Chain A
Amino acid sequence: MTAFVASLRYEFRMQVRKRTVWIVPALTLVLFVLIGGSLLRDLFDPAERPVDPRTAVVGLAVQLNALLSIGFGCLLADRLIRDDRLRVASILDATPASPRARLLGKYVGVAAATAIPVSVAYFGFAAAYAVDTGEPRALGWALAAFGALFIPGLLFVAAFALAAPLVMPAPLFRVLFVGYWLWGNVVSPDMMPTLARTLVHPLGGYPLAAFFDFHGIDGQDTWAGPIPGATLNALRPDPTPALAWLSIVLLLIIAAAVLAGGHALRTRRIR
């Protein structure tokens, strides 16, 4: 437990102090505001914003999750290999601390630190929206959306971002990751086989549909369930709350499996 807490505390501290952990999401948000048409601006435009505060903050969650998770994954992509690069690993490996506990602490610590700017951005905009519209309920929905959408998705991304650079150069991971993010989240299932809208959908299609009754900002989209003629429809049952929980659990199980694989690989290499 001490090793987990120590690793979490210090990995968090080191990551949260990195200027780039703050600069990258900030620049992304600036670009996102500049292009116009995003909810970051529309939330404060009575003519453009959704009428329902739930739709507004959940829609904001979808947009920010889709966008900021990319920088989140890229910024985490060197954290596990960093100990070897900095030549600190041998000191840490010679301590009696369990390597598993250290890895878990590092995972939670760096993921939490890198998620801080994401959460600041999300809750900041949600709070501003709540004040602007006089809708305090929006903050409640924002909390629920953060728990059901951001946290599982970011933990899923973080596990791959930590483990994948053990088997490929970090830049190559970044290319494949952003390609995957587009393919696995946004590409329409009738265009090519994709994990979008399945139970393994890091943007949280099932929680969006079943927990938040979210059908896009305009109320026209569906985010989970089968598409006629699409492949992989077996992974797209009609959404229910139970399936939404299952979807979250599946993301966490995959994340745990990826981390365990990364741990096994690193252990095998150093020995």
Chain B
Amino acid sequence: MRRAGWAAFLGPPLALALGITAALANPQPTDLTTARILLGALEMAIPLAAAVACSSLVGRDPARELQLASPTPYRVTLLRRMIVTLGWTAAVAVPAAVVLIATGWWARWPENHGAFAGQLTWLAPTVGLSSLAFAAGAVFRSPGAAGALVTSVWAIQQFFAGSAQANRPGRLLYLFATTRGTTPGDWTANRLTLLGAGAALIVVALVLLGRSERLIGEEDE
């Protein structure tokens, strides 16, 4: 966790807290809008925080050369840091989801998909976006560029939600299918596609990170 950085530690709880604050600050609250904002904190804010933390995993490691010279492959070390980051994100998201389920807010959102499968609400976009961040970090070796790319992808899907879901590939890769709607019946396929795309991106990242000479040079400063 220490090597994953403060942003990985602070990001998910802070993002969740801001989401809950947004729900509480609603001047004209209804059960539906409040439930949507609360689930939105899980589906939107948590994945963003986790992904930006993952975008910083590659690059600027002061002990990079020592890591590359150690018997444990550096890409395995980086993958472990990603798992720790996502594990911490889950440690924040699961209790939050449990609280929402226990207090009934979960059920007040019609597209909640139940207590168990519904956990894909945060898990699928978190894995999908974080894997994109990890892969972008491996390609650019610049946390700034990788962070810029994932935040831009997240923002495109926020600002242009309708256009982003205009066709089936777009709908399957849409990050916010629970709280910003999708075609009925697409939700499960959407979540599984995000998880699958995440797995594929991690493989791509690991292949790139296996070429150690790419990691020795200074990154694009």
Contact = CB atoms under 8 A, between A and B. Distances in A.
B166 interface: yes
Given A24-B149, A171-B56, A179 B163 contact: no
Contacts of B154: 178
A181 B170 contact: no
Contacts of A174: 52, 55, 147-148, 151
Contact of A192 (B8, B25, B60): B25
Contact of A175 (B49, B152, B155, B220): B49
A31 B152 contact: yes
B219 to A, nearest CB: 9
Nearest to B62: A85
Given A70-B151, A178-B48, A186 B143 contact: no
Interface stretch (B26-34, B106-114, B192-200): B26-34
B221 A71 contact: no
Sorting the interface of chain B by its residue count into under 10, 10 to 19, 20 to 34 or 35 or more gives 35 or more
A46 interface: no
A70 B53 contact: no
Contacts of A71: 148-149, 151-152
A234 B149 CA distance: 36
Interface stretch (B14-22, B75-83, B96-104, B201-209): B14-22
Interface string A181-195: 111001000111100
A11 to B, nearest CB: 12
A172 interface: yes
B78 to A, nearest CB: 15
Among A19, A37, A70, max chain B CB count under 10 A is at A70
Interface stretch (A74-82, A133-141, A208-216, A261-269): A74-82
A120 interface: no
Given A35-B164, A192-B22, A175 B159 contact: no
A172 B14 contact: yes
A32 interface: yes
A229 interface: yes
Given A31-B152, A35-B164, A171 B170 contact: no
A38 interface: yes
A175 B156 contact: no
A interface: dominant SS? helix
A190 B53 CA distance: 32
A191 B11 CA distance: 24
Contacts of B56: 170-171
Given A31-B153, A31-B156, 5 more contacts: A32-B160, A78-B143, A172-B10, A178-B48, A178-B155
Give me the 5 closest cross-chain CB pairs, A-B, nearest first.
A37-B163, A20-B145, A171-B7, A74-B148, A71-B148
Interface of B: 5-8, 10-11, 14-15, 18, 22, 25-28, 33, 37, 45, 48-49, 52-53, 55-56, 60, 140, 142-145, 147-149, 151-156, 158-160, 162-164, 166-167, 170, 220-221
13 contacts: A24-B148, A35-B156, A37-B160, A67-B155, A67-B159, A82-B221, A171-B56, A171-B143, A172-B10, A174-B148, A175-B11, A175-B49, A179-B18
Interface of A: 14, 18-20, 23-24, 27-28, 31-32, 35-38, 66-68, 70-71, 74-75, 77-78, 82, 85-86, 169-172, 174-179, 181-183, 186, 190-193, 229-231
